[in-house]
Structure 1
Amino acid sequence: MLEIAMNRMESGGEAKLKYGTPDFQIIKPGAYVRCAVTGEAIPLDLLRYWSVERQEAYVDGEASFRREMEAGGRKR
């Protein structure tokens, strides 16, 4: 399964998204986005965490929480 996901990411390139609530909009088609915290590639079909405010994607809940703490835990 991981091999299939990696092949899909290599052939599709990096996407550009506009993050909204509760979904995202694809601005530039691609197979993945990068986690703003770890730099890890996230296949679009596995993307579950992002910030509408910062327009960033996160690989998992821990990365999302880390970014929130770095930002001071503030909501605007």
Structure 2
Amino acid sequence: MLMSNTDRAARLHFMANGFRVLSPGDHVVCATSGVRIALDDLRYWSVARQEAYATPALATAAMSG
């Protein structure tokens, strides 16, 4: 049986201009809020912390605190 990536968190390596998928999935989890972020909607992350964020406000708060 083939494995489906639906409802499975992806593991990513974040880079300055994008990310590389290390383990397939359909979403990641926001590091600060715990909200699921579809890979197609992922826009904010920290390269240094290797974390994803759901909104620019959450990303700013995480990086300033």
Quick one: percent identity of the two aligned structures?
Answer: 38
Question: Where in structure 1 do 4 or more consecutive aligned residues deviate above 3 Å?
Answer: none
- Listed as ranges, the gaps of 5+ residues in structure 1 are 1-9, 71-76
Greater relative contact order (Cα < 8 A, sep 6+): 2
Match for residue 73 of structure 1?
none
Q: Does residue 34 in structure 1 map to residue 29 in structure 2?
A: yes
Shift in Å at residue 48 of structure 1? 0.1
- Tell me the TM-score normalised to structure 1 length: 0.76
Structure 1 residues 6-45: aligned runs within 5 Å: 11-45=6-40
- Aligned residues between the structures: 61
Structure 2 counterpart of 1:5:
none
Question: Secondary structure in 1 aligned to 2:52?
Answer: strand
Larger Rg: 1
Read off the aligned partner of 1:40 and give its amino acid letter: V
Indicate the structure with greater helix content.
1
Deviation of 1:21 (Å): 1.2
**Alignment correspondent of 2:58:** 63
